[in-house]
Amino acid sequence: MTFSHSSTAPVPTQAARRRASRASAAVVAAALLLCTAAPARADAVRDKQYWLQDYGVTEAWKSTQGEGVKVAVIDSGVDGSHPDLSGAVAGGIDASGAGRADGQQGIGEVPEHGTLVSTLLAGRGHGPRPTEGAAPSPLAAYGEGPDGIVGVAPKADLLAVSVWIEGPNSGPNPAGIGTDEQIPNAVRWAVDNGAKVINMSLGSTSTTWPESWDEAFLYAEKRDVVIVAAAGNRAGGLTQVGAPATIPGVLSVAGLDRSGVASRESSSEGISIAVAAPSENLVGGLPGAFYAEWSGTSGAAPLVSGVAALIRSKYPELSAAQVVNRIVGTARDAGAPGFDTIYGHGILDVAAAVGPGVEVPKANQLGSMEQWIQVYRRGKPPAEAAPPAPAENTAAPDIPAAPVPQAHEGAGSSTVLPPVVVLGFSGLFVLLLVGGTVHVLRVRRAERLAPQREEPDTGAFDVPQRADRPAETGHGSPRS
Query: Domain 44-443 class?
Result: alpha beta
Q: Does the pTM of the predicted model rise above 0.85?
A: no
Neighbours of 132 (CB within 10 A): 5
The predicted-structure confidence for 265-310, as pLDDT tens digits, reads as follows: 777 788 999 999 999 999 999 999 999 999 999 999 999 999 999 9
Q: Which residues, in sequence order, are bridge partners of residue 199?
A: 73, 228
Out of 24, 94, 96, 113, the active site residue is 113
pLDDT of residue 263: 86
- Domain residues of the chain, as ranges? 44-443
Which residue of the set 21, 24, 43, 75 is catalytic? 75
298, 305, 345, 462: the catalytic one is 298
3-state secondary structure of 300: helix
The C-alpha angle 49, 50, 51, rounded to 5 degrees, equals 95
Q: How far apart are CA 478 and CA 480, in angstroms?
A: 6
pLDDT one-digit tens code per residue, 49-74: 999 999 999 999 999 999 999 999 99
Look at 218 and 411; give whichever has higher pLDDT: 218
Whether 113 sits among the annotated catalytic residues: the reply is yes
pLDDT tens-place string over residues 76-125: 999 999 999 999 999 999 999 999 999 999 999 999 999 999 999 999 99
Q: Integer distance in angstroms from the first to the last C-alpha of the chain?
A: 28
DSSP string, 108-143: SS-TTHHHHHHHHHH-EEESPPPPTT----TTTTST
How many other C-beta atoms are found inside a 10 Å radius of the C-beta of residue 192? Answer: 10
Q: Catalytic site residue 340?
A: no
Query: So what's the pLDDT on residue 268?
Result: 76
The three-state secondary structure class of 371 is: helix
DSSP state of 74: E
What DSSP state is assigned to residue 313? H
298 is an active site residue: yes
Q: What is the DSSP letter of 467?
A: T
What pLDDT score does 467 carry?
55
